[in-house]
Chains A and B, each alone.
Chain A
Amino acid sequence: MIGGLFVYNHKGEVLISRVYRDDIGRNAVDAFRVNVIHARQQVRSPVNMIARTSFFHVKRSNIWLCAVSKKNLNAALVFQFLYKMLEVMGSYFGKINEENIKNNFVLIYELLDELLDYGYPQNTDTGVLKTFITQQGVKSQTKEETTKITNQVTGQIAWRREGIKYRRNELFLDVVESVNLLMSPQGQVLSAHVSGRVLMKSYLSGMPECKFGINDKVIVESRRAADSSSAAGATKSGHIAIDDCQFHQCVKLSKFDTEHAISFIPPDGEFELMRYRNTKDISLPFRVIPLVREIGRTKMEVKVVVKSNFKPSLLAQKVEVRIPTPLNTSGVQVICMKGKARYKASDNAIVWKIKRMGGMKEWQLSAEIDLLNATDKAKKWTRPPISMNFEVPFAASGFKVRYLKVFESKLNYSDHDVIKWVRYIGKSGLYETRC
């Protein structure tokens, strides 16, 4: 398992160094700095072997987080853990940067002591950690209190503590989808998929058992088969075919596998209930039609049409189109019908921002790009794809929440008393059109 964990700043100075195993020495800290952080070339792999020691790293802004081992350990687990650690640190002190890490180094050591034991990840749930790693000391706690903590850290339902009470039982569901597209210049969809997340905020008393229903074909059909009393002729349309889904720790996976039922006891507060992926019948909110013409060696003409492809009553927000320009661009003249377009030399792109855009609209931008005479033909411009950002108030996959029922047998509130909110957000993932 993980032999040691180091945190460096961008210069390669050590901010945190925690060694869990005897086979990792201090020289490992330097080896990573010299061979990876200070390497001349771009780092070509997140896993590097230096002198029979393996280094796994992730980078967040200027901070390098690096796990070290000399064993044949589970690599997927290491990276999952590193990301988890970033999440935990983030929820304790906000942004991961040098200042915050230095300011909280004692806390981080305390966390590392708890997160890993002999390099084996232990309980990494932020909510639970916050019950006993507080930087306040635990001296004053009574026996009952500590037992409660230890039970929760190690317990079966590690993600929720007992005895939670709310005056108003309320829950919020956000269906957040990111739409990914790669389109050829001719408008052929090369690949498209939606990766969706169902985020939940629950403010429920006690230990409520929740049942979640969605319009996935498999789930709906198996439900119907199981429940023969329901009308067989119910609407067949409106079901989507989810390729794959994954669930939060709290969802009973074996139950999902056998009965296709999503049931769980939710953590208190905010969490990601479910993740899913869909590739079929995606309604792409936008279409970009590029037209690039190179006129001689010093001029280019670009025309980009953006079409919105959803109900006219809906409004897309934060629409942004990025049109890459060659490195030797000397000047750009842009004309656009709507929104604001600007050439950003630092990004080598024309950035076209549209605050709001209704459905079934078609807007155009045209630009003339002046180029410096290209001297080195090896540095030929490779025409990176045009990318788009946007936010739309619907799920591009057609994902629908059918119900979310709450059962808490011990307390006297019923499903009807719970106030529920649902909203759908479609965002752009990598939304690219080649030109």
Chain B
Amino acid sequence: SPKMQGVAASVSESLGNIRPWLQKVTTQAKTTDSKYFTTTRKGEIFELKAELNSERKDKRKEAVKKVIASMTVGKDVSTLFPDVVNCMQADNLELKKLVYLYLMNYAKTQPDKAIMAVNTFVRDCEDPNPLIRALAVRTIGCIRVDEITAYLCDPLRKCLKDEDPYVRKTAAVCVAKLHDIDPLLVEEQGFLDALKELLADSNPMVVANAVAAITEISDSAQTDTAADMLCWSGQLINKLLTALNECTEWGQVFILDAVANYTPTENNEAQNMIERVSPRLAHANAAVVLSAVKVIMKLLEMLDPNSDFVVSTIKKLSAPLVTLLSSEPEIQYVALRNINLIVQKRPDILKQELKVFFVKYNDPIYVKLEKLDILIRLTSAANIANVLAELKEYATEVDVDFVRKAVRAIGRCAIKVESAAERCVSTLLDLIQTKVNYVVQEAIVVIKDIFRKYPNKYESVIGTLCENLDTLDEPEARASMIWIIGEYAERIDNADELLESFLEGFADEQTAVQLQLLTSVVKLFLKRPTDTQELVQQALSLATQEADNPDLRDRGYIYWRLLSTDPAAAKQVVLAEKPLISEETDLLEPNLLDELICHIGSLASVYHKPPAAFVDGRGGGQVAKATKGLPSRLAAEAGGAAAAAAGAGGGDFGAGTGAPGRPAVSVIPTQESLIGDLLDIDMSGGATAAAAMAAASASTNQQPVDLLGEGLDSLLGGPAPSATSPVPPSGASAAAGGSGADSLADIFGGLGGGVGGGLGGGGGFDPPMETWLPAQKGKGLQIEGRFLRRGPQLSMELRLRNNAMQQLNGFAVQFNKNSFGLAPAQPLAMNPLAPQQSVTTLLPLNTKGPVQKMDPLLTLQVAVKNNIDIFYFACLIPMYALFTEEGDMDKRVFLSTWKDIPPENETQFNLGSYAHDADTASTMLRSFNVFTIAKRSVESTDMLYQCVKLTNGILVLAELKIVPQTNAYTLSLKSRHVEIYPGVHEAYLAVLKG
């Protein structure tokens, strides 16, 4: 080796000489294609047309290039379609590719002309050159014209079995393209099977592309059969993990992302998977590393957290994550956003790596801000000195956002590490001395939080704060300062003067400041009643008489009444001891965090939002798609159902704030929570309460004994938690308090968003069984079922099959709260189930269960327990199962009810045409408890007036119009609850279709 060192210098010269071979191609490609980018001239299109039809090949090629250049810059060259297509038959591959490019862009706008290209495509799919075959099949899938799609099937089928792997890997992706255009066609033509066969292909790239295609298709699967077919089995996953070694870096990502969707059934399997995925952590491609991290993070959930294996696996994760921070800044950013999640889920992983998150001067701002966030999460008493020194440094930087965040971070350090609080406060005071406006304001906001955490400890700084009153121009800083004055009114001699000065500009302040000002003045009054009476009257009259904001007015009136009826009570309420604020802020809500962990590396992890929040749902229709959740140690497959249940719970909290269906529980203190602060349980206080509730609901979901939601139920129905005020104010706490009521009016009244979803299945009186729990998700237990109504009795028929190797026993079933309060009327009577045995049982239902509006409305979440585990699944209740026997009513009552319902509630549906006449239809519908109240014929058009009563007493009145010649059925529905229309409509369709 020393000998090698010696020659190093001479070698360096020879190394330099090797570079030229790389550049050879460069010089070759030195053309002057840029000339095609010249600006438009008049008559250019006409000239191009002539050139495209030129006799000379080279001229035609030039012309096509010009067309593509025009297309690139956004000019419309679609009128040249036939001329360009004419050039398609060229034997020049380069030209062919350009023409194909043109076709992909314009075929959709010119479907009738695009058909001209079909023959060439079909011919190219048979070309002896595999590159051309692949090119053709790749392009044809991108041409979204129905007429062409029809011609695609045969060539595609051949290409899927082509002898050349290059063609097969292209064909695999083409199946996904075709599925996007016409999913049913793909199923009918058996392409899904063909795709699945490709998973066993000898060529790794074919396998990888097949995996990508299957993942995409199953994400948007339209039918259960498709979804089931594409479900990964343990065996298949095993094969894929073997193929991992031979794939390209991208192929590895496809496979790892697919593997991440699979939840193994046994701990051994999970451990084995982790062992096989871990080597990927050393891959040079960040996407491979992150996807491997995702798989491992998910599987770790299933294993005993104290086992040596888990401990050593966690150790393995830290170094690769740190390494990601030496990649390009954009990749660093993605990595940091993910590390932010990982640190919240498993703080141990990066505990020792604090220093790598120190900000570098030249880091792009987005990297700096993320690093700062993580830095704070990793701060502890052990490293606080280092962190504080860094933060102080950052607070002098240039970027305003970054500086603000740094200042805020210092405050968070103080709250998190008590021993350092004093140092933090003095650092903040130093920063206030700089008089840099936004630094001062930010510092005051965080000092308020410090006061909250350590009451009566640092009041000595109030003097310094008051010096800066004039410079505060941001609402949050003003509100914070006013809060401090009110809170410490008895120690600030001129508190009344200060508040009075704020009161002068009351009308110009933002609501948050106004509310805070009102509260602080009342506090001052309660503490120093003798000399502040005038002030409080002024504030109250400003709030109640001059203000337009209802929140402000209401708060003003409440204070007024409190003070005038019982000042002692007012004192108790307004000056009540405040709950402690939590140490950790900005934490993600736990269910969301778990969901995001399942999306590591993806956009969701960058946005910190669930995919549903930014991806337009497609194909959510028939196949119930549960959000991704982490598997738990208790129930491997609980993730989906639990997450769904929690999501619904979140909707409850959010009802008051107008965001139904989305978890509105926010641990992040926001401006809004300040508004909702009547009794000074401000910001983090409210957040803590909400967090406590979120935590409580989360724990209920995981309790093994209480199958579903009963704990949640009592939490919601019972009195609001003590942290929330006894007087329901506005905003978040109002939502928490008010949502407990489970009356129907509450469920359907007010906010009901669009209720989507239709009937699964359909069919006659006895609909076919649907698979609700596939065996691979039920650890061998497969459940099929349907809803039946026999007379007044509604039941659920279940067929349970044991595909496992052992006996299953100890069955129990429980329903989550649902829109119609369905619940089992008696326990599930089941004998032990031997392996490979199946049994059908009838479970009578009643509607006495707890009620909660679901979205879709008819969703029913069910938990089934046996000796192995608890399994969760969701199914849709067919609406007609809910039609009761009591639907009959007097004609006059019908008429008056019809009139009572406002006309805007009436909605019309075209049902199509059916062979049956009015009487047959009436009889058919009667057997489903749709009662015909009256029949009328107007000019040979039959009108049936019908009534349906749902189990919860909701009445639906219907007018069914049947035109005899065409047999066209039109249905008009009228009810006070329009949400149920889609369900009723579906029910009519199902009955009439027989």
Given known A-B contacts A120-B173, A150-B130, A191-B355, A201 and B15 have beta carbons under 8 A apart: yes
| A54 near B361: Cβ-Cβ < 8 Å | no
User: What are the interface flags for A368-403 relative to B under an 8 Å C-beta threshold, 1 for contact and 0 otherwise?
Assistant: 000000000110101111000000010000001100
Q: Mark B190-229, 1 if CB is under 8 A from A, else 0.
A: 0000000000000111100100100010000000000000
| Residues A253 and B284 in contact in the complex (CB < 8 Å), given A132-B131, A137-B93 | no
Give, as a whole number of angstroms, the nearest-CB distance from A324 to chain B: 9
- Residue pair A77, B253 in contact (C-beta under 8 Å): yes
**Contact in complex: B21, A269 (CB < 8 Å):** yes
Whether B334 and A75, one on each chain, are in contact in the complex, defined by CB atoms closer than 8 angstroms, is yes
B611 partner residues in chain A, CB cutoff 8 A = 72
Within 8 A of A (CB), among B220-254: 245-246, 248-250, 253-254
Distance from B184 Cβ to chain A, minimum over Cβ atoms (Å): 17
A49–B29 contact, CB under 8 A?
Answer: no
For residue A103, CB closer than 8 A to chain B, the reply is: yes
CB distance from B858 to the nearest CB of A (A): 27
Q: Which B residues are CB-close (under 8 A) to A70? A: 615-616
Q: Decide if A137 touches B92 in the complex (CB within 8 Å).
A: yes
* Residue contact A47 to B606, C-beta cutoff 8 Å: yes
Q: Which residues of B contact A257 (CB under 8 A)?
A: 278-279, 282
Residues of chain A in range 254-294 having any CB-CB distance to chain B below 8 Å: 254, 256-257, 269-270, 272, 275, 277
Interfacial chain B residues near A47, Cβ < 8 Å: 333-334, 603, 606-607
The digit string for B308-327, where 1 denotes a CB below 8 A from any CB of A, is 00000000000110110010
Q: Which residue from A42, A146, A401, A422 sits with its C-beta under 8 Å from B129?
A: A146
Closest residue of B by beta carbon distance from A112? B101
Closest CB-CB distance, A325 to chain B, in whole Å? Answer: 15
CB of B966 closer than 8 Å to a CB of A: no
CB distance from A432 to the nearest CB of B (A): 6
Binds B, one of A227-235, A238-246, A336-344: A238-246
Bound CA–CA A143/B163 (angstroms):
13
- Structural contact, B101 and A109, CB atoms closer than 8 A: yes
* Residues A247 and B284 in contact, CB atoms below 8 Å apart: yes
Could you say which residues of chain A place their CB within 8 Å of the CB of B205? 122-123, 153-155, 158
Expressed in whole angstroms, the Cα–Cα distance for A109 and B104 within the complex equals 13
Asked if A45 meets B257 with Cβ closer than 8 Å, knowing A17-B72, A120-B209, the reply is: no
Cβ-based interface call for B356 (8 A): yes
> In the assembled complex, how far is the CB of residue B173 from the closest CB belonging to chain A, in whole angstroms?
5
* Contact (A77, B31) CB under 8 Å given A156-B204, A378-B436: no
A 56-90 binary contact with B (CB < 8 Å = 1; else 0)? 10100000000001111111110111110000000
Stretch of B285-293, B490-498, B661-669 contacting A (4+ beta carbons < 8 Å): B285-293
B214 to nearest A CB, angstroms?
12
Q: Mark B352-375, 1 if CB is under 8 A from A, else 0.
A: 000110101110011000000000
Asked if A75 and B601 sit within 8 Å, CB to CB, the answer is: yes
Cβ distance B491 to chain A, nearest Cβ, rounded Å? 32
Q: B212 contacts A270, CB within 8 Å?
A: no
In the complex, whether A172 has a CB less than 8 A from a CB of chain B is yes
Contact of A121 with B250 in the complex, beta carbons under 8 Å: yes
Which chain B residue lies CB-closest to A184? B389
Task: Say whether B131 contacts A149, CB under 8 Å.
Answer: yes
Stretch at the interface among A92-100, A204-212, A348-356: A92-100
Asked if B603 and A150 sit within 8 Å, CB to CB, the answer is: no
A290 to chain B, nearest CB (A): 14
Q: Which chain A positions have C-beta within 8 A of B335?
A: 76
The answer to whether the Cβ of A151 comes within 8 Å of any Cβ in the partner chain is yes
Which of A77, A190, A378 counts the most chain B CB atoms within 10 A?
A: A77
State whether B361 touches A56 (Cβ < 8 A). Answer: no
- A-chain residues with CB within 8 Å of residue B101 when the two chains form the complex: 18, 109, 113
Question: What residues of A have a CB within 8 angstroms of the CB of B141 in the complex?
Answer: 118
Q: Which of B69, B180, B358 contacts A191 (CB 8 A)?
A: B358
Residues of B282-304 at the interface with A, using a CB-CB cut-off of 8 Å, are 282-287, 289-291
- B598-622 CB mask vs A (1 if < 8 Å, else 0) is 0101111111000100111000000
Mark each residue of chain A from 102 to 130: 1 if its CB lies under 8 Å from any CB of chain B, else 0. 11111101100100011011111100001
B601 touches A92 (CB 8 A): no
Residue of B65, B174, B360, B606 ringed by the most chain A CB atoms within 10 A: B606
Interface segment out of the listed A8-16, A297-305, A357-365: A8-16
Docked-complex contact A74 and B253, CB < 8 angstroms: yes
Q: In whole angstroms, what is the CA distance A149 to B389 when docked?
A: 58
Report yes or no: A74 in contact with B34, Cβ–Cβ below 8 A.
no
In the complex, whether B913 has a CB less than 8 A from a CB of chain A is no
B105 → chain A closest CB, angstroms: 7
Chain B residues near A141 (CB-CB < 8 A):
129
Report how far A100 CA is from B708 CA in the complex, Å: 63
Q: How far is the CA of A366 from the CA of B615 in the complex (A)?
A: 59
Residue ID in chain B nearest A117 by CB atoms: B173
Indicate if the CB atoms of A107 and B72 lie closer than 8 Å: no
Out of A52, A91, A146, A420, which one reaches B22, CB within 8 Å?
A91
One of B8, B135, B323, B603 near A277 (C-beta < 8 A): B323
Query: Inside 8 A of A21's CB, which chain B residues have their CB?
Result: 180
> Given contacts A153-B166, A252-B245, is CB(A105)–CB(B69) below 8 Å?
yes
B25, B105, B362: the one contacting A430 at CB < 8 Å is: B362
- Are B249 and A249 closer than 8 Å at their CB atoms? yes
Q: Which residue of B lies closest to A92 (CB)?
A: B25
- Is B330's CB under 8 angstroms from A79's CB? yes
B365 & A44 in contact (Cβ 8 Å cutoff): yes
What mask results when residues 18 to 49 of chain A are scored 1 for a CB within 8 Å of chain B, else 0? 11111100100100000000000010111101
Q: Is B91 an interface residue (CB 8 A)?
A: yes
Interface 0/1 of A189-233, CB less than 8 Å to B: 011010100000100000000000000000000000000000000
- Tell me if A139 is interfacial: C-beta within 8 Å of chain B: yes
B361 touches A385 (CB 8 A): yes
CB-based nearest B residue for A253? B279
Instruction: Closest B residue to A109 by CB, please name it.
Output: B101
Assess the A15–B250 pair: CB atoms within 8 A. no
In this assembly, does A411 line the interface, its C-beta being within 8 Å of a C-beta of chain B? no
> Is residue A165 contacting chain B, with contact meaning CB distance below 8 A?
no
* Cβ of A147 under 8 Å from chain B: yes
Tell whether B961 is near chain A: CB-to-CB under 8 Å: no
Decide: B287 and A135 in contact? CB cutoff 8 A.
no
**What residues of B have a CB within 8 angstroms of the CB of A16 in the complex?**
72
Q: Is A248 an interface residue (CB 8 A)?
A: yes
Contact partner of A75 among B33, B436, B603, CB < 8 A? B603
- Which residues of A lie under 8 Å from residue B341 when comparing CB positions? none
A332 CB-CB contact with B under 8 Å:
no
How far is the CB of B315 from the nearest CB of chain A, in Å? 12
Complex contact A120–B8 (CB within 8 A): no
Which A residues touch B286, using CB under 8 A?
Answer: 76, 79-80
User: Are A58 and B360 in contact, with the CB atoms below 8 A?
Assistant: no
**Once the chains are docked, how many angstroms separate the CA of A310 from the CA of B257?**
47
Q: How far is the CA of A210 from the CA of B122 in the complex (A)?
A: 46
Complex Cα distance, B209 from A195, in Å, reads 34
What are 23 A-B pairs at a CB distance below 8 A? Answer: A49-B607, A52-B614, A58-B330, A70-B616, A74-B257, A82-B330, A104-B33, A109-B97, A118-B142, A118-B177, A122-B248, A130-B25, A143-B129, A150-B165, A155-B203, A182-B358, A246-B323, A247-B282, A247-B283, A380-B434, A382-B398, A422-B1, A424-B8
Q: A70-B615, A184-B389, A191-B355 are in contact. List 20 more A-B contacts (CB 8 A).
A: A19-B104, A49-B607, A54-B603, A74-B601, A75-B606, A77-B253, A92-B29, A93-B30, A103-B34, A113-B135, A137-B94, A154-B166, A155-B203, A254-B279, A277-B322, A380-B434, A385-B361, A421-B4, A423-B4, A423-B12
The interface of chain A, by Cβ under 8 A from chain B, is 1, 13-23, 26, 29, 42, 44-47, 49, 52, 54, 56, 58, 69-77, 79-83, 91-94, 99, 102-107, 109-110, 113, 117-118, 120-125, 130, 132, 134-135, 137-139, 141, 143, 146-147, 149-151, 153-156, 158, 172, 174, 182, 184, 190-191, 193, 195, 201, 243-249, 252-254, 256-257, 269-270, 272, 275, 277, 377-378, 380, 382-385, 393, 400-401, 420-424, 430, 432, 434
**What 4 A-B pairs come out closest when comparing CB atoms?**
A102-B34, A150-B166, A244-B319, A77-B287
